Amino acid sequence: MKLLRVFVLLVSAILLAAACTTAPEPVGFQPEILPLPADPSDYAPIASYAAMEIPADNPMTPEKVALGRQLFFDQRLSGDGVLACYSCHQNDLGLSDGRPTAVGAFDRPLTRNSPTLWNIGYHPEYYWDGRSKPLASQALAAWRGGNMGADLEESVTQLNGIEGYQNQFQAVFNEDATSENVSQALAAYMRTIISIDTPWDRWQAGDESAVSDAAKRGHEIFERIECNNCHDGVLFTDFQYHNVGIGMEAEEPDLGRHRVTEEDSDRGAFKTPTLRDISQSAPYFHNGSVATLEEAVDLMLGGGQENPNLDRENLKAADLSEAEKEDLLEFLRSLDEPVQLSEPPLP
Ligand code: HEC
Ligand code: HEC
């Protein structure tokens, strides 16, 4: 409770400082969770997240984050007027969309599963294959590409025809909406999507009653069988690309990271997904080929799927009893995030 107040004060101070600063220095940013829970006394102490790197050309300000949040929820950004960014990154679906592979604007089928956006501002590279960075360029790609299918010029003209947006863009960027500043506002908002209030975080912060004994045993198992060779640290990802064999049996498999680096060793390698909110974000893997968390864990426990590039160095088969497997799953469920993104009023 006290910690939260300190945290909120700290965030306000940093945001204020960021708003006043003119020097384009990269700033460390401790992001705010939006929305804060109605009763702050429910709020857990803060997990030990590092300060987030913020690009010098897109400093965080509360007004920019608020604008980005509106844009994220606004269907008018999509080519067909039906989808918002949020459509494929929803609360009850672990900030994903519940589909094996996404369906973009104009009902265009896409080839990959929608990843969660929790803690996305900490990722050094975006998409399952890491082909895009920084976050503002990713946002632009999602807006213009198959996901949202927007014609940027039309979309920007439309935004500038909406009085509320026009005033906000002037206030935040000193200019009308452009494809660049829309992407910057979206990126600023996404940097505030932080998962820190899971039972696991509360346990790590010293609340022994926050998780069950089964989850505690599961955490030990997770480390003992070295799932954290890849699902490492407070975000449960090393941000590296590994081949665990998913989809490699296909006639023309998605080669993942190989498409970016053209290295043979990257054939079939994908970014290690975070495990935060994992029980909510079914179906699993880059191609959504596995329906339940139990099956996904079984597949990893089996040492992945056989193929010439399987990362055997990091991923080893582990023989767990049914009870141990249940403990492991209980630990993964302790990573469920209760904080919800909420839709702001739109102009
Ligand atoms: C039709 C569903 C859909 C919509 C709409 C959509 N996304 Fe996504 N999003 C996806 C899919 C699928 C991927 C993964 C694509 C890939 O890896 O090739 C993704 C990936 C991302 C990522 C990278 C995640 C990671 O782990 O690297 C971010 C960030 C993101 N989307 C933000 C947005 C924003 C911002 C918008 C709105 C401008 C948006 N998305 C709209 C489906 C969608
Ligand atoms: C070699 C690194 C590595 C190790 C070790 C590893 N994983 Fe993974 N894990 C990955 C990668 C990479 C993916 C995504 C693969 C894909 O979609 O093609 C993944 C996906 C998952 C998923 C699905 C996530 C999602 O959002 O779709 C779960 C659940 C999972 N792993 C759990 C585990 C568990 C439990 C262990 C320990 C038994 C483990 N992993 C060990 C790299 C690893």
User: For 22-60, how does the pLDDT look when each residue is reduced to its tens digit (9 = 90+)?
Assistant: 333 334 454 544 543 334 344 334 556 777 888 999 988
User: For 59-90, how does the pLDDT look when each residue is reduced to its tens digit (9 = 90+)?
Assistant: 888 889 989 999 999 999 999 999 999 999 99
State if residue 219 touches ligand 2 by the CB under 6 angstroms criterion. no
Percentage of the chain with pLDDT > 70? 86
Nearest atom in ligand 2 to the alpha carbon of residue 245 is 18
Q: How far apart are CA 126 and CA 52, in angstroms?
A: 16
Measured in angstroms, how far is the CA atom of residue 122 from the centroid of ligand 2? 19
State if residue 227 touches ligand 2 by the CB under 6 angstroms criterion. yes
State if residue 11 touches ligand 1 by the CB under 6 angstroms criterion. no
Closest C-alpha to ligand 2, atom 32: 297
Nearest atom in ligand 1 to the alpha carbon of residue 112 is 12
Q: Please list, in sequence order, all residues whose beta carbon lies within 8 angstroms of the beta carbon of residue 153, skipping any fewer than 6 positions away.
A: none
Give the pLDDT of residue 52. 82
**Candidate of 112, 120, 276, 285 to mutate for ligand 2, largest count of ligand atoms within 8 Å of Cβ:** 285
| pLDDT of residue 107 exceeding 90 | yes
Nearest to 71 by CA among 189, 172, 178: 189
State if residue 112 touches ligand 2 by the CB under 6 angstroms criterion. no
Q: Assign residue 54 a region: left if phi > 0, alpha if psi is -120 to 50, beta otherwise? A: beta
Ligand nearest to the CA of 108: 1
State if residue 88 touches ligand 1 by the CB under 6 angstroms criterion. yes
Q: 321: which 2 tokens?
A: 């009893």
State if residue 54 touches ligand 1 by the CB under 6 angstroms criterion. no
Region 242-269: what's the mean pLDDT? 96
Measured in angstroms, how far is the CA atom of residue 270 from the centroid of ligand 1? 15
- For residues 10 and 17, the answer to whether their CB atoms sit within 8 Å is no
State if residue 112 touches ligand 1 by the CB under 6 angstroms criterion. yes
Nearest atom in ligand 2 to the alpha carbon of residue 313 is 1
Region 254-268: what's the mean pLDDT? 96
The CA–CA distances, whole Å, from 16 to 23, 62, 142, 173, 189 equal 14, 8, 30, 16, 16
- For residues 184 and 64, the answer to whether their CB atoms sit within 8 Å is yes
User: For 186-221, how does the pLDDT look when each residue is reduced to its tens digit (9 = 90+)?
Assistant: 999 999 898 888 999 989 888 999 999 999 999 999
Long-range contacts from 316-325, C-beta under 8 angstroms, 24+ separation: 316/225, 316/226, 318/225, 320/221, 320/225, 324/217, 324/221, 325/297, 325/298, 325/301
Closest C-alpha to ligand 1, atom 42: 114
